[in-house]
Amino acid sequence: MNKYAGNDCVTVEGLDRDDLEQLFDLAQKMDKIVKDRTTAELLKGSILGLMFFQVSTRTRISFESAMRRLGGSVVGFVDPKTTRIGDYYAESMHDVVRMMENYADVLVIRHPENGAPEMAGTITEIPVINAGDGDNEHPTQALLDLYTIRCEKGTIDDLKIGFVGDMNLRVFHSLPIALAQYNAKAYFISPPEVSMSSTWIEEFRQAGLDFEEISSLDEIIDNLDVIYMEGVKTPSYHIGRTDSVGIRPDMPHEWILDSKKVKRLKSDAIILHPLPRTEELPMEVDASESARYFAQAGYAVPVRMALLSLILDRIP
């Protein structure tokens, strides 16, 4: 059974363990195509439509790469200012989605407003994939994060997974929901001022997630199997990092995973980060045996290849 077929992927809610494992097993098959640096014809004739209202490096380019690796093609925009959305007409999301459904077979939408991809899904019959909406969800990031853990640790069950940083970030919402399908324990590690909102805490409870909130990285770092880093001082999406010097507060040292802290990790612990990074993950850590964030960004391609195949119901 393929629960993904013809459906939107705007949240990880509703995906059970069998659905996740089906996707990961298929991603493992897709991985061979990626590693061999070749292409297949599975999605030949299919067109992916990109609608990026916010900038992206990994999500957009890995979706493009995934579609092209499977023989499909890609249309769309990566900056709404280059379309009629950005000129005098300020063309509405509604009208643009109505156009795009004529030009593509599946849409990938990133938008600064919570719920925008879900709303798009109500306008069109073609499947919509959420590539990140506001501070709500980033479901395909969660899928590739879980796949990374499965590949790099051999299992997702029985692991202690620490999420470090500003809990308002969308990557910290989708992954715990999906993680609830496994017997892992989540630790939300942040200063109180950027702790998990009560709304998401309630969502995690309802999903059946085993979790704990902790306000000190120092307290837990030695016990983690996976440490998923983000900054506790999130830069504004609207002001460049260099332009925000002097406006944005410095990252407190206790929330920076430097080499000294890395030495305290379990010898087989892995470090993840969705990237891009700021001061919370210095480049000195890249040489560590535990660093897996570049591999994580690489797993984006086979996972998104698998997702596109399942949604378009063309399984090899």
Which spans of this chain sit near ligand CP (rule: CB under 6 A)? 56-59, 132, 141, 274-275
Nearest to ligand CP of 152, 213 (CB atom): 152
Residues 6+ apart with CB under 8 A from 58: 274, 275, 297, 300
Cβ atoms < 10 Å from Cβ of 83: 15
Residue number, 117 or 274, with CB nearest to ligand CP: 274
Beta carbon of residue 170, minimum distance to ligand CP (angstroms, whole number): 9
Preceding peptide of 276 cis, ω within 30°: yes
Type of residue found at 198? S
Q: Could you tell me where the DSSP H helices lie in 129-197?
A: 139-153, 171-179
Q: CA angle at residue 99 from 95 to 100, to 5 degrees?
A: 115
Q: How far is the CB of 162 from ligand CP (least distance, A)?
A: 18
CB of 303 to ligand CP, least distance (A): 12
Query: Do the beta carbons of residue 298 and residue 274 sit within 8 Å?
Result: no
Residue 130's beta-bridge partner residues? 109
Which is nearer to ligand CP, 39 or 57 (by Cβ)?
57
Least gap, CB of 275 to ligand CP (angstroms): 5
**Whether the Cβ atoms of residue 126 and residue 8 lie closer than 8 Å to each other:** no
Least distance CB 108 / ligand CP (angstroms): 11
> Which one, 141 or 148, has the nearer CB to ligand CP?
141
Helix axes 58-69, 17-35, angle to 10 degrees: 70
Q: Which is nearer to ligand CP, 22 or 63 (CB)?
A: 63
For the CB of residue 145, give the shortest distance to ligand CP in the complex, in Å. Answer: 9
Tokens read off for 169: 């970030």
- Residues 189 and 180: their CA atoms lie apart, in Å, by 18
Smallest gap from Cβ 297 to ligand CP, in A, equals: 7
Q: Name residue, tokens 């069109």.
A: 124
**Residue number with CB closer to ligand CP (42 or 109):** 109
Which lies closer to ligand CP via its Cβ, residue 196 or residue 297?
297
Contact 128, 120 (CB under 8 A): yes
Nearer to ligand CP, 34 or 42 (CB): 34
CB of 274 to ligand CP, least distance (A): 4
Name the helix (H) or strand (E) containing 212.
strand 210-214
Closest CA to 53 of 1, 96, 18: 96
